[in-house]
Amino acid sequence: MCVEERVRLLLEAPPNSWIALSGDESRCVAHGATYAEAVANAEQEGESDPVLIKKPETWHPMVLLPCA
């Protein structure tokens, strides 16, 4: 999954939710309001070892620049 796809997932996900990716991080397999719900939903989709991402309540994209 490229960076742009990951950003799109975060933008589309409800605030304060969990996103479950496949173990190889190539696709979104589930989501949930809680960590446990996202894991359970991923397991129902056949993913036994999901990678989870938390979308914060408020999320603002930003650019970080190296210190001089």
Rounded CA separation 55/44 (Å): 21
Per-residue model confidence (pLDDT) at position 35:
95
Residue 63 belongs to a domain? no
Per-residue model confidence as pLDDT tens digits over 4-20: 888 888 888 889 999 99
Where in the sequence is the domain holding 28, given as residue range(s)?
3-54
Residue 63 has pLDDT above 90, yes or no: no
User: Exposure string (b/e) for 43-63, b if CB count within 10 Å is 16 or more?
Assistant: eeeebeebeebebeeeeeeee
Number of domains in the chain: 1
Looking up tokens 């960076």 gives: 3
- Rounded to two decimals, the pTM is 0.77
Per-residue model confidence as pLDDT tens digits over 13-40: 889 999 999 998 888 999 999 999 999 9
Residue 64 belongs to a domain? no
